[in-house]
Structure 1
């Protein structure tokens, strides 16, 4: 091949390569548009672990798209009150929110199914149901009528049963107890004689201090430790049977969701799942230390008696029957959970339970710590 022929062929090849790059650019731009969303959180910034879930998905999406998918996070009250975050997503005030479905219990009881129902799942069971048992799909089928799409975005694990000014030794001690507890859980304990109180997080401490209420549930050791409840209500009960595996969710306006390219939808789901798993890991890491600190500063740990738990379980089943008779969307989701729950706890009695029980005995015997 002579020099002149080589240069001619090289020029043609270079031109073709250049043309290819020019043609490819618009396609790439179409697949990766600039998206700027606002997210309304239901949580204050002080609750860094649960509020942090919204910041985490924002960071993950930005990093995965070289800054082309941006979500600006607003804490509770900055755009709308925390309890209105889901509604603000439905009506398009914001493109998305980070909240807990049972905050919308009063609007439609079926919202609670995507968050938690008393005596249903642990966090691990809820994840299995959501990702492999059809939970996400079932919830999104319900949410269509509210112009929403939702994906799990966090879990606290089994929560604590709250702070009490007096000991709860029997059902008799529940009678007339004024307790800060809301939604479905409030309806359950009301059947035990408790008087549910709707009180914002910032008002709980002074209400306990003044005796306006006798008890209050919040989250768990790490979050509770920030509020100093042990100073005014020293008895710290467990478990919070109304929240065995509460799912915090990302809610997206369906119109905005449908506008996203498929690759952005996939990224959102992936980043949401990573955030979901990471929040649980954070709580599992932070809660043990926080609990030891709470006990060291005066908290007195107590477990609910078998009598209280059994009566609460029966009361929860009564509530489910009542709500299912009134709300088909709730009934459909709840019944989908039942078979999954039965099989889950059948298996958990074997390897998992036996292993965990043995290891807990070793912990009590002091053989797990270094040098133990």
Structure 2
């Protein structure tokens, strides 16, 4: 029996969805797909919102250019990670005193810090070999070369392990030779240090004590107030910019340039080891590269800023700069040999670090002196007044 055309049309209608119902189903599926896409994308948004936060402290007052260097490093890390890792840097004293930084980072009270190793001299005298003394004539950049390629990094790790410091250390920022210091009157001979109340830090404490000074190790922010109250007759800190900002020209008008007590210091950026070990490899790589980028940037910024402030101290603050007498510089070298011999007598790590530096310096210094020009000759040629009062 044949089915009617009308019956066939009804069956076809049931078998084939109409355009309205098709659109409805497609809309539903589209929404479901969008919902799935949103669910997949959501963790990515959440990851960006939960960035790793690290709290650092420097050992410097907020107004000092050294604290600016610490902020520069943090900004480089923050920028390069796109905000996934954010370092906040507080000034000295915000959480712990300047000399308490290593302990605070090691215990995890702070996630990291920016300072100098000389402030930790009391925990192991070998620490100060990176920052104090003539280092066999090397400048700070050479010391950083020894640290990275000559075995210094491995020795520092060994040293920190020996004192139970739970830290990962990075060295950065080669400093120029530091002045002998600020005084009430020029230092003309070694005997002028006899009985002088003087501020320094690290192994320079032993050096100046042997020269007859009564040494007091103070953090940067406390030096000028102590000089103002007469608790110090003289003090050294670091450079023209820091010294000007910290107020040295307000308490002294005499600054002696050149010294071997801290001729090759650099900064230390430290991380709590537990915190650092928990970071992904990408973040560790960014930190390592940010350290080196900061080192280069700091050395360039220092040349620009220190030279400007060196002029300003003379023209606006009436500071008189004098060269430290060669007789005193030679005495520093002689006494330094005695200091390190005494320190190394019962400290195998001290002897190991010093021997490593000596071996590196012997070849690096010879290459440097044989290769590079006498810069003073060129400076005198172009800028010293010629007969008749004219410059070249």
The bucket for the TM-score relative to the shorter chain is: 0.7 to 0.9
CA deviations over 1:77-136 (Å, ceiling 9, x no partner): 11111211111011111111111111011122122234x121013122123222322322
Seen in structure 2, the aligned counterparts of structure 1 residues 317 and 23 have a Cα distance that, compared at 3 Å, is farther
- 1:178 corresponding residue in structure 2: 197
1:256-335 equivalences under 5 Å are 256-296=275-315, 297-335=317-355
1:139 to 125, 144, 156: 156
User: Could you say what secondary structure the match of 1:183 adopts?
Assistant: coil
- 2:56 corresponding residue in structure 1: 39
1:327-366 equivalences under 5 Å are 327-352=347-372, 354-366=373-385
Please state if 1:68 is matched with 2:79: no
| In structure 2, distance between residues paired with 1:153 and 1:124 | 9
| In structure 2, distance between residues paired with 1:294 and 1:123 | 24
In structure 1, the gaps of 5 or more residues are: 1-18
User: Could you say what secondary structure the match of 1:226 adopts?
Assistant: helix
- Runs (4+) of structure 1 exceeding 6 A deviation are 22-30
- 1:229 corresponding residue in structure 2: 248
- 1:5 corresponding residue in structure 2: none
Give 1:231 deviation, angstroms: 4.2
User: Could you say what secondary structure the match of 2:123 adopts?
Assistant: coil
1:237–1:303 Cα contact (<8 Å) kept:
yes
Seen in structure 2, the aligned counterparts of structure 1 residues 363 and 294 have a Cα distance that, compared at 3 Å, is farther
| In structure 2, distance between residues paired with 1:335 and 1:89 | 29
How does the TM-score come out when normalised to structure 1? 0.85
| In structure 2, distance between residues paired with 1:231 and 1:27 | 55
Seen in structure 2, the aligned counterparts of structure 1 residues 355 and 148 have a Cα distance that, compared at 3 Å, is same
Seen in structure 2, the aligned counterparts of structure 1 residues 280 and 109 have a Cα distance that, compared at 3 Å, is same
- 2:235 corresponding residue in structure 1: 216
- 2:28 corresponding residue in structure 1: none
1:92-103 equivalences under 5 Å are 92-103=108-119
1:201 to 220, 224, 230: 220
Please state if 1:80 is matched with 2:96: yes
User: Could you say what secondary structure the match of 1:106 adopts?
Assistant: helix
How does the TM-score come out when normalised to structure 2? 0.81
2:168–2:276 Cα contact (<8 Å) kept:
yes
How many pairs align? 349
2:169 to 150, 154, 168: 150
CA deviations over 1:170-229 (Å, ceiling 9, x no partner): 122121111112231011111111111233434433433443321110111111112342
Seen in structure 2, the aligned counterparts of structure 1 residues 328 and 24 have a Cα distance that, compared at 3 Å, is farther
Seen in structure 2, the aligned counterparts of structure 1 residues 359 and 214 have a Cα distance that, compared at 3 Å, is same
Give 1:163 deviation, angstroms: 0.5
Seen in structure 2, the aligned counterparts of structure 1 residues 269 and 203 have a Cα distance that, compared at 3 Å, is closer
In structure 2, the gaps of 5 or more residues are: 1-35
1:179–1:214 Cα contact (<8 Å) kept:
yes
2:61–2:220 Cα contact (<8 Å) kept:
no
Q: Which protein has the larger Cα radius of gyration, Structure 1 or Structure 2?
A: 2
| In structure 2, distance between residues paired with 1:33 and 1:351 | 52
1:124 to 126, 129, 141: 141
2:186–2:255 Cα contact (<8 Å) kept:
no
- 1:6 corresponding residue in structure 2: none
| In structure 1, distance between residues paired with 2:140 and 2:382 | 22
1:38–1:96 Cα contact (<8 Å) kept:
yes
Give 1:29 deviation, angstroms: 9.8
User: Could you say what secondary structure the match of 1:326 adopts?
Assistant: coil
- 2:9 corresponding residue in structure 1: none
| In structure 2, distance between residues paired with 1:335 and 1:168 | 33
| In structure 2, distance between residues paired with 1:304 and 1:237 | 6
